Amino acid sequence: MHTQRRIFSIATCGFLLVSISAIRFTGAASHASPSTVGSPVACTLLTTADATTALEVSSQPGKELVNSTGCVWSHDPALADSSRRVTLVTHSLASFQAAMHPAITTIKIEPVSGIGDEAFYQLYPKDQNAFIWVRKGANAFDVRIITRLKPKPFTTEQEKAKEAVLAKAAVAKL
Protein backbone atom coordinates (compact mmCIF):
# COMPACT_ATOMS: atom_id res chain seq x y z
CA MET A 1 0.00 0.00 0.00
CA HIS A 2 2.83 2.37 0.94
CA THR A 3 4.65 1.52 -2.31
CA GLN A 4 1.54 2.32 -4.35
CA ARG A 5 1.28 5.74 -2.71
CA ARG A 6 4.96 6.40 -3.41
CA ILE A 7 4.55 5.45 -7.08
CA PHE A 8 1.42 7.62 -7.34
CA SER A 9 3.30 10.56 -5.77
CA ILE A 10 6.25 10.17 -8.14
CA ALA A 11 3.96 9.89 -11.17
CA THR A 12 1.98 12.94 -10.09
CA CYS A 13 5.16 14.97 -9.60
CA GLY A 14 6.39 13.89 -13.02
CA PHE A 15 3.13 14.93 -14.66
CA LEU A 16 3.25 18.26 -12.85
CA LEU A 17 6.83 18.90 -13.99
CA VAL A 18 5.98 18.07 -17.61
CA SER A 19 2.92 20.33 -17.44
CA ILE A 20 4.87 23.20 -15.91
CA SER A 21 7.65 22.87 -18.48
CA ALA A 22 5.05 23.15 -21.23
CA ILE A 23 3.89 26.60 -20.15
CA ARG A 24 5.38 29.29 -22.34
CA PHE A 25 6.81 32.09 -20.25
CA THR A 26 6.89 35.55 -21.76
CA GLY A 27 8.68 38.73 -20.76
CA ALA A 28 6.85 41.55 -19.03
CA ALA A 29 6.78 43.60 -22.24
CA SER A 30 5.28 40.79 -24.29
CA HIS A 31 1.60 40.12 -23.81
CA ALA A 32 0.86 38.19 -27.02
CA SER A 33 -1.81 35.59 -26.56
CA PRO A 34 -1.02 32.00 -27.61
CA SER A 35 -3.35 32.33 -30.59
CA THR A 36 -1.36 35.26 -31.96
CA VAL A 37 1.87 33.29 -31.97
CA GLY A 38 0.45 30.26 -33.77
CA SER A 39 -0.58 28.12 -30.82
CA PRO A 40 -4.28 27.27 -30.66
CA VAL A 41 -6.41 28.33 -27.71
CA ALA A 42 -7.22 25.06 -25.93
CA CYS A 43 -10.91 25.77 -25.29
CA THR A 44 -11.57 26.14 -29.03
CA LEU A 45 -10.36 22.63 -29.88
CA LEU A 46 -13.27 20.72 -28.29
CA THR A 47 -16.93 21.48 -27.82
CA THR A 48 -19.19 21.00 -24.84
CA ALA A 49 -20.94 18.29 -26.85
CA ASP A 50 -17.60 16.49 -27.37
CA ALA A 51 -17.00 16.52 -23.60
CA THR A 52 -20.56 15.47 -22.79
CA THR A 53 -20.28 12.44 -25.08
CA ALA A 54 -16.92 11.40 -23.62
CA LEU A 55 -17.91 11.90 -19.98
CA GLU A 56 -21.37 10.34 -20.38
CA VAL A 57 -22.77 13.19 -18.26
CA SER A 58 -23.87 16.66 -19.31
CA SER A 59 -20.82 18.92 -19.36
CA GLN A 60 -20.47 22.61 -18.65
CA PRO A 61 -18.62 24.72 -21.27
CA GLY A 62 -14.83 24.52 -21.12
CA LYS A 63 -13.00 26.68 -18.57
CA GLU A 64 -9.66 28.16 -19.52
CA LEU A 65 -6.63 27.20 -17.50
CA VAL A 66 -3.22 28.95 -17.42
CA ASN A 67 -2.72 31.42 -20.31
CA SER A 68 -5.12 29.58 -22.63
CA THR A 69 -2.73 26.62 -22.71
CA GLY A 70 -5.30 24.41 -21.05
CA CYS A 71 -9.02 23.92 -20.82
CA VAL A 72 -11.21 21.72 -18.66
CA TRP A 73 -14.78 20.53 -19.23
CA SER A 74 -16.84 18.99 -16.42
CA HIS A 75 -20.42 18.39 -15.34
CA ASP A 76 -19.52 20.19 -12.09
CA PRO A 77 -19.09 23.99 -12.43
CA ALA A 78 -16.79 23.91 -9.36
CA LEU A 79 -14.55 21.23 -10.96
CA ALA A 80 -14.48 19.25 -7.72
CA ASP A 81 -12.01 16.37 -7.42
CA SER A 82 -14.92 13.93 -7.45
CA SER A 83 -16.23 15.22 -10.80
CA ARG A 84 -15.64 13.71 -14.22
CA ARG A 85 -13.46 16.00 -16.31
CA VAL A 86 -11.89 16.28 -19.74
CA THR A 87 -8.70 18.31 -19.99
CA LEU A 88 -6.92 19.50 -23.10
CA VAL A 89 -3.53 21.17 -22.68
CA THR A 90 -1.44 22.57 -25.53
CA HIS A 91 2.32 22.01 -25.40
CA SER A 92 5.54 22.97 -27.13
CA LEU A 93 7.10 20.45 -29.49
CA ALA A 94 9.95 20.04 -26.99
CA SER A 95 7.46 19.05 -24.29
CA PHE A 96 5.83 16.59 -26.68
CA GLN A 97 9.22 14.96 -27.35
CA ALA A 98 10.02 14.86 -23.62
CA ALA A 99 6.67 13.21 -22.86
CA MET A 100 7.44 10.56 -25.46
CA HIS A 101 10.57 9.58 -23.50
CA PRO A 102 9.58 9.88 -19.80
CA ALA A 103 12.26 9.79 -17.14
CA ILE A 104 9.96 7.77 -14.87
CA THR A 105 10.38 4.18 -16.02
CA THR A 106 6.96 3.06 -14.79
CA ILE A 107 5.23 5.34 -17.32
CA LYS A 108 4.56 3.28 -20.43
CA ILE A 109 4.33 4.75 -23.94
CA GLU A 110 1.95 3.20 -26.48
CA PRO A 111 2.06 4.58 -30.05
CA VAL A 112 -1.25 5.49 -31.72
CA SER A 113 -1.75 5.67 -35.47
CA GLY A 114 -4.30 7.67 -37.43
CA ILE A 115 -4.37 10.77 -35.21
CA GLY A 116 -2.43 13.85 -36.33
CA ASP A 117 1.16 13.42 -37.49
CA GLU A 118 2.21 11.56 -34.36
CA ALA A 119 0.37 10.37 -31.26
CA PHE A 120 0.88 8.15 -28.24
CA TYR A 121 -0.73 7.20 -24.95
CA GLN A 122 1.06 7.69 -21.66
CA LEU A 123 0.01 4.88 -19.35
CA TYR A 124 0.68 5.40 -15.68
CA PRO A 125 1.05 2.65 -13.07
CA LYS A 126 -1.91 0.92 -11.46
CA ASP A 127 -5.02 3.04 -10.75
CA GLN A 128 -3.88 5.90 -13.00
CA ASN A 129 -5.71 7.21 -16.02
CA ALA A 130 -4.12 6.99 -19.44
CA PHE A 131 -3.91 10.08 -21.58
CA ILE A 132 -3.11 10.79 -25.19
CA TRP A 133 -0.50 13.17 -26.61
CA VAL A 134 -0.86 14.36 -30.21
CA ARG A 135 1.31 16.35 -32.60
CA LYS A 136 0.04 17.85 -35.81
CA GLY A 137 2.52 20.06 -37.60
CA ALA A 138 3.91 22.59 -35.14
CA ASN A 139 1.05 22.03 -32.66
CA ALA A 140 1.03 19.56 -29.78
CA PHE A 141 -1.51 18.83 -27.08
CA ASP A 142 -2.66 16.19 -24.64
CA VAL A 143 -6.18 15.07 -23.82
CA ARG A 144 -7.08 13.34 -20.59
CA ILE A 145 -10.28 12.04 -19.03
CA ILE A 146 -10.13 12.34 -15.26
CA THR A 147 -12.59 10.49 -13.06
CA ARG A 148 -12.71 9.70 -9.41
CA LEU A 149 -10.70 6.57 -8.65
CA LYS A 150 -13.41 4.68 -6.73
CA PRO A 151 -15.64 3.70 -8.31
CA LYS A 152 -13.83 4.31 -11.58
CA PRO A 153 -16.59 4.61 -14.21
CA PHE A 154 -14.45 3.72 -17.24
CA THR A 155 -11.87 1.04 -17.88
CA THR A 156 -8.49 2.11 -19.22
CA GLU A 157 -9.48 0.81 -22.66
CA GLN A 158 -12.70 2.88 -22.57
CA GLU A 159 -10.73 5.98 -21.54
CA LYS A 160 -8.25 5.43 -24.35
CA ALA A 161 -11.04 5.03 -26.93
CA LYS A 162 -12.81 8.17 -25.67
CA GLU A 163 -9.57 10.16 -25.65
CA ALA A 164 -8.82 9.06 -29.22
CA VAL A 165 -12.21 10.40 -30.36
CA LEU A 166 -11.57 13.69 -28.55
CA ALA A 167 -8.05 13.94 -30.01
CA LYS A 168 -9.39 13.43 -33.55
CA ALA A 169 -11.97 16.17 -32.97
CA ALA A 170 -9.25 18.55 -31.74
CA VAL A 171 -6.91 17.73 -34.65
CA ALA A 172 -9.73 18.55 -37.09
CA LYS A 173 -9.77 22.12 -35.71
CA LEU A 174 -6.04 22.74 -36.10
**Average pLDDT for residues 81-104, to the nearest whole number?**
93
The answer to whether residue 158 is domain-embedded is yes
The answer to whether residue 34 is domain-embedded is no
pLDDT at position 160, please? 95
What is the domain extent for residue 18?
2-26+39-172
**Average pLDDT for residues 113-137, to the nearest whole number?**
91
pLDDT at position 117, please? 97
The answer to whether residue 51 is domain-embedded is yes
What residues contact residue 80 under an 8 Å CB cut-off, 6+ apart?
none
For residue 146, give the H/E element and its range.
strand 139-146
The answer to whether residue 31 is domain-embedded is no
pLDDT at position 35, please? 38
The answer to whether residue 81 is domain-embedded is yes
The answer to whether residue 32 is domain-embedded is no
Handedness of CA 18, 96, 89, 58 (dihedral sign): negative
Whether residue 155 contacts residue 163, with contact meaning beta carbons closer than 8 Å, is answered with: no
Report the percent of the chain where pLDDT is more than 70.
74
How many structural domains does the chain have?
1
The answer to whether residue 33 is domain-embedded is no
| Tens-digit pLDDT profile for residues 52-91 | 999 999 999 999 987 779 999 998 888 877 789 999 999 9
Tell whether pTM > 0.95.
no
What residues contact residue 96 under an 8 Å CB cut-off, 6+ apart?
118, 133, 135, 140
